[in-house]
Structure 1
């Protein structure tokens, strides 16, 4: 898919290059989204022996945004061969995506692992971690469509089909002979217009004509949706000035949603929707089944990534509610775009943030189960290693259309028709809840790594126990025997098995783990044995800080594990204040530590405590040395010495 304005190219990539002459021209073309010209300019620089991090980045991005993934992979690959540079993690993700488009899935997964190591909190990392067998899952969803390239396609870009009664409306960059000079610099194709084709009784497309002169201007028009009565249309158009292509002060022509009413056979009363903006794009409208909500893609404030799916409520008086982001079940830090809502309220959308085959893939998710389920990849042959998007389906006939830039097409993007032979169950999942405990002490075990495995031992899902030892995982709904395998440092692997006999939830799973940790020797400091941080105190304070409480819980767990162990709590101060005061302060700290352990159920007879004041400093920060606050902090501590 060529990422023109049609495809809501919502990425803002303004990377300045400190170059002269041709380098400056290349940079200007890139910053102005003239990616075709930028690619030519940068490649000429490479031929002349120029190379740099910025050139490789921009060549990679220019090709990526134009869906030239093989070329993008080449330049991203060169980028990561550079030494002594720290490349933003986003390039790791883009490189992994381009490798998928070359079917290099193992290499892609390796780069995704590097991305996860850098950005563990990224939603795409979580999706990758929780779907280690995503190719297997995609394969299970595959083989459900027969597809064909439609005869209405041109040598230009044809995409964004929508139903309007017995007609198919779509967007095209075909050259009619009248728009040869209306070339967009993004990818050197004509501007987009809306066309109509009749859907014949045999299911073919025929009689292709422009939709309306009232709609098709010297701008991009694309992605439509119609009300069921055919009287109202929502569509996308880029920013314009009296019907002419216009850019903002940054050189970007934003996308906006418009509404038109059919009167006497003509589309009239064309108005811009009120939730558009001049500094962000709003595009690709979709209506839900009862036409009470309008969905769209946007990069407005509150977007998680390059573009997200939002919706607004359509009020009874025709006004609109506030845009609401659909959240992390749908949206990622990459591109989610081209929403379509079926009669059964299944949201179909294109994404390159969810695990897929490469480029944009089409996914589906039940809008009624957004908080419980995950988006499903529709599988091959509908999805491919290239861009697949703008999916629509008639759930009665099981026929529909989508667009793709796969290699067998006529133009840069083509419209494909399909027949769905088997529906995908979007509610098919099982929710697994339970707890991880120490087998001997029954203490909870936090941060245990959990792998869901099938009967063949293959990992089909991942998770981790929370701070209370509990877990909440989503798993397959396929019938069979499964297990959750838990691992954690200082413990032998623990597991529990379960059976799925139907789509059901399991809420009482318990995983018991046995420690392989040897008890501490006499005289040992438990903090060192357990590889814990010291229990530090604030200046002139003796209360147990929150960060120290987490450490103390591990001491409690150890003492429960070895009930015959006795310890001496030793507390210390830094050298500031006089000796007698510090001795008293350290005794208060030791007493506070003792009280905390007793309150946690440790028998008082197993504990003694003593304050040492400033007599056992860990560094040279005595009364005669000027030290930083950080160095003084190292002396304000409690220790746990094994005495029996």
Structure 2
């Protein structure tokens, strides 16, 4: 398609130099052909000249263009590379084209270098800004890609250009250059017509036939869409109406939108031009939303940001159209935006060269765009690259999907095809993620047998519940790119849950659910600080008064003592080794006694409480303060020694001595 309709849709942006090649009559002799865009013929002459060793900016620009606009990116990159090696000041657009050509041959790192140079020279350009905002775009695209989808090249493809598929009745409608007849000088292929083909019972396609009626002419027709009621077809054609072929002031025949009506005999007739067609710009590639109330299309009409933009227009009840509106800079760039498609959910798919991609035209998605257009004045739309396998290093365009049949069609000139453009298809399969994990005791990190694992959707609706085995392990399946909450539960434990969003690309996810013991057996010699998960009882520097944050922790001890009136505890305060040992012992003693007094003041019988400060005499690690060891311990390691213990010395008539 790019070697056909893009010629007339986007020729205005091709940079044609008027420089006269001094001392090079052969180049000058083909200039008229070049201005007529007869690249296939001219490039052979330019190549011959370049291969003889002649060099000039204009020569390399023209030679690079001749391959670039035929999507032969290997040769385009070669000659644009020669252009860059000249080291002369050139239009920054050539940096962009060179970067795109390098992407086309999968030299992504080198492409990024020239995109950065392009952005430096044109910092206001949306294409460069989009690239700089997502320099890691390749990783993002990889995350959005699917490696579990099998793409099929349709049997109906030929050695010519086939593209732009939509489903219609029990088959598809598409454009093709297979018809024979007069050839289009751009690529020496026949002009495009619209064709239809029905599916057979086994899912393959039958005989391909031209669309019946008055749609096809001796010039190009492509990119059809049929209204939801089946009565109207909008399609793209050269400016050829009522047997009159019209060109603009520069001699270019533009593309236009036409509307056909279904006739009683099943053919398409009553062809009408849409009212905003013009001889001065192109309008092409229509698509309709679910209700047929809005039509989206591509155009280079006044008001575009770049080479072509995506527009939207209201469709009236009688099939006529309102006034077009540009979708704005979140969708459109200074590059090409073309081939829009709206699915039944209102998501916009379209192709662009202006946003970071894998090369050439990439397919992008703007989720929920049609709904935003309907309900809001905002034109700030989300956009993302749909990734592989739809996108490749070539041109990928003409995306179409049926969410009921789960069937996708798209067009591409990627390597391995049958013709210049081919139609590809695949089935939308449910992408599933395997969520594997274990339920563990947070303190011991041992598996918790017979725990329940519950999976919820983003709204909190329970999806699945499982009971784990003795090893605490579980496996669940979830969809891709969806938000979930997973929860672990068991009696006598406080549950744990994690909220997560699954990636687009299928991969296994591992999750640990850590449950804390809520009901714990207590016995003499146990430390309430460990049972109640009490951290350090902090005191202000060189003080022994109870701070507010320490009081909160002591309230936990108080609650246990009140619940078990036979429980006695020994309060033990420790310090790290820093500071004089005698001072640390006295300070810890004051703090232990202050803690004991706090509990007494709260109503605990003094006979149930003992307290002692141990200073630095009972370190729990090797963080002593001898010169050889002081520098080897971190602050966190020293902190482990600054602890408080609440040792149960007796409960229910049993003492710590009985346990020992």
TM-score by length of 1: 0.63
Partner Cα separation in structure 2 for residue 477 and residue 95 of structure 1: 38
How many residue pairs were aligned? 429
Partner Cα separation in structure 2 for residue 37 and residue 184 of structure 1: 13
Kindly indicate whether the alpha-carbon contact (under 8 Å) linking 1:238 and 1:253 is maintained by their aligned counterparts in 2. Answer: yes
Task: Give per-residue Cα distances to partners, 1:394-440, cap 9 Å, x unaligned.
Answer: 0112102111111111111111111122479xxxxxxxxxxxxxxxx
Kindly indicate whether the alpha-carbon contact (under 8 Å) linking 1:163 and 1:226 is maintained by their aligned counterparts in 2. Answer: no
* Counterpart residue number, 1:248: 248
| Secondary structure in structure 2 of the residue aligned to 1:223 | strand
1:339 aligns with 2:347: no
Unaligned runs of at least 5 residues, structure 2: 373-377, 433-480, 486-497, 503-660
Residue 421 (structure 1) aligned to one of 410, 418, 429 = 429
1:101 aligns with 2:101: no
- Structure 1 residues 279, 372: CA separation in 2 closer, same or farther (over 3 Å shift)? closer
Q: Map 1:231-630; keep pairs closer than 5 Å.
A: 231-240=231-240, 242-243=242-243, 246-264=246-264, 265-366=266-367, 367=369, 368=371, 371=379, 373-422=381-430
Kindly indicate whether the alpha-carbon contact (under 8 Å) linking 2:164 and 2:411 is maintained by their aligned counterparts in 1. Answer: yes
Deviation at 1:29, TM superposition (A): 2.2
Q: C-alpha root-mean-square deviation of aligned residues, in Å?
A: 2.4
| Secondary structure in structure 2 of the residue aligned to 1:303 | coil
Kindly indicate whether the alpha-carbon contact (under 8 Å) linking 2:246 and 2:279 is maintained by their aligned counterparts in 1. Answer: no
* Counterpart residue number, 1:18: 20
Deviation at 1:478, TM superposition (A): 8.4
Kindly indicate whether the alpha-carbon contact (under 8 Å) linking 1:334 and 1:352 is maintained by their aligned counterparts in 2. Answer: yes
| Secondary structure in structure 2 of the residue aligned to 1:206 | coil
- Structure 1 residues 70, 288: CA separation in 2 closer, same or farther (over 3 Å shift)? same
- Structure 1 residues 287, 380: CA separation in 2 closer, same or farther (over 3 Å shift)? same
Kindly indicate whether the alpha-carbon contact (under 8 Å) linking 1:61 and 1:72 is maintained by their aligned counterparts in 2. Answer: yes
| Secondary structure in structure 2 of the residue aligned to 1:73 | helix
Residue 88 (structure 1) aligned to one of 88, 91, 94 = 91
Task: Give per-residue Cα distances to partners, 1:315-349, cap 9 Å, x unaligned.
Answer: 23443221111111111110010001000001000
Partner Cα separation in structure 1 for residue 499 and residue 298 of structure 2: 37
Partner Cα separation in structure 2 for residue 479 and residue 61 of structure 1: 50
Deviation at 1:89, TM superposition (A): 1.0
| Secondary structure in structure 2 of the residue aligned to 1:207 | coil
Partner Cα separation in structure 1 for residue 500 and residue 209 of structure 2: 53
| Secondary structure in structure 2 of the residue aligned to 1:415 | strand
- Structure 1 residues 114, 500: CA separation in 2 closer, same or farther (over 3 Å shift)? farther
Kindly indicate whether the alpha-carbon contact (under 8 Å) linking 1:226 and 1:233 is maintained by their aligned counterparts in 2. Answer: yes
- Structure 1 residues 272, 371: CA separation in 2 closer, same or farther (over 3 Å shift)? closer
Kindly indicate whether the alpha-carbon contact (under 8 Å) linking 1:156 and 1:175 is maintained by their aligned counterparts in 2. Answer: no
Partner Cα separation in structure 1 for residue 319 and residue 230 of structure 2: 16
Partner Cα separation in structure 2 for residue 402 and residue 27 of structure 1: 37
| Secondary structure in structure 2 of the residue aligned to 1:127 | helix
Kindly indicate whether the alpha-carbon contact (under 8 Å) linking 1:218 and 1:243 is maintained by their aligned counterparts in 2. Answer: no
* Counterpart residue number, 2:227: 227
Kindly indicate whether the alpha-carbon contact (under 8 Å) linking 1:221 and 1:236 is maintained by their aligned counterparts in 2. Answer: yes
* Counterpart residue number, 1:571: none
Moved more, 24-33 or 386-395: 24-33
Kindly indicate whether the alpha-carbon contact (under 8 Å) linking 1:218 and 1:244 is maintained by their aligned counterparts in 2. Answer: no
Unaligned runs of at least 5 residues, structure 1: 425-475, 481-498, 504-644
Partner Cα separation in structure 2 for residue 244 and residue 55 of structure 1: 37
| Secondary structure in structure 2 of the residue aligned to 1:86 | coil
Kindly indicate whether the alpha-carbon contact (under 8 Å) linking 1:165 and 1:230 is maintained by their aligned counterparts in 2. Answer: no
Partner Cα separation in structure 2 for residue 479 and residue 76 of structure 1: 49
* Counterpart residue number, 2:198: 198
Partner Cα separation in structure 2 for residue 320 and residue 216 of structure 1: 22
Q: Map 1:54-203; keep pairs closer than 5 Å.
A: 54-83=58-87, 85-143=88-146, 145-176=149-180, 179=181, 182-203=182-203
Task: Give per-residue Cα distances to partners, 1:226-255, cap 9 Å, x unaligned.
Answer: 012322100000122644655333121100
Kindly indicate whether the alpha-carbon contact (under 8 Å) linking 1:477 and 1:500 is maintained by their aligned counterparts in 2. Answer: no
- Structure 1 residues 46, 86: CA separation in 2 closer, same or farther (over 3 Å shift)? same
- Structure 1 residues 33, 247: CA separation in 2 closer, same or farther (over 3 Å shift)? farther
Kindly indicate whether the alpha-carbon contact (under 8 Å) linking 1:2 and 1:187 is maintained by their aligned counterparts in 2. Answer: no
- Structure 1 residues 246, 186: CA separation in 2 closer, same or farther (over 3 Å shift)? farther
Task: Give per-residue Cα distances to partners, 1:365-412, cap 9 Å, x unaligned.
Answer: 020457555311111111110011101000112102111111111111
Partner Cα separation in structure 2 for residue 344 and residue 201 of structure 1: 28
| Secondary structure in structure 2 of the residue aligned to 1:310 | strand
Kindly indicate whether the alpha-carbon contact (under 8 Å) linking 2:179 and 2:193 is maintained by their aligned counterparts in 1. Answer: no
Kindly indicate whether the alpha-carbon contact (under 8 Å) linking 1:101 and 1:357 is maintained by their aligned counterparts in 2. Answer: yes
* Counterpart residue number, 2:38: 34
Partner Cα separation in structure 1 for residue 6 and residue 176 of structure 2: 10
Kindly indicate whether the alpha-carbon contact (under 8 Å) linking 1:6 and 1:220 is maintained by their aligned counterparts in 2. Answer: no
Partner Cα separation in structure 2 for residue 319 and residue 230 of structure 1: 15
Answer with 1 or 2: which has the greater Rg: 2
Partner Cα separation in structure 1 for residue 320 and residue 185 of structure 2: 36
* Counterpart residue number, 1:215: 215
Task: Give per-residue Cα distances to partners, 1:593-624, cap 9 Å, x unaligned.
Answer: xxxxxxxxxxxxxxxxxxxxxxxxxxxxxxxx
TM-score by length of 2: 0.62
Kindly indicate whether the alpha-carbon contact (under 8 Å) linking 2:232 and 2:319 is maintained by their aligned counterparts in 1. Answer: no
| Secondary structure in structure 2 of the residue aligned to 1:269 | strand
Partner Cα separation in structure 1 for residue 247 and residue 160 of structure 2: 23
Partner Cα separation in structure 2 for residue 375 and residue 15 of structure 1: 35
Deviation at 1:206, TM superposition (A): 1.8
Partner Cα separation in structure 1 for residue 52 and residue 80 of structure 2: 19
Moved more, 239-248 or 382-391: 239-248
Kindly indicate whether the alpha-carbon contact (under 8 Å) linking 1:175 and 1:190 is maintained by their aligned counterparts in 2. Answer: yes
Deviation at 1:86, TM superposition (A): 0.9
* Counterpart residue number, 2:520: none
| Secondary structure in structure 2 of the residue aligned to 1:79 | helix
* Counterpart residue number, 1:5: 5
Task: Give per-residue Cα distances to partners, 1:454-477, cap 9 Å, x unaligned.
Answer: xxxxxxxxxxxxxxxxxxxxxx99
- Structure 1 residues 389, 152: CA separation in 2 closer, same or farther (over 3 Å shift)? same
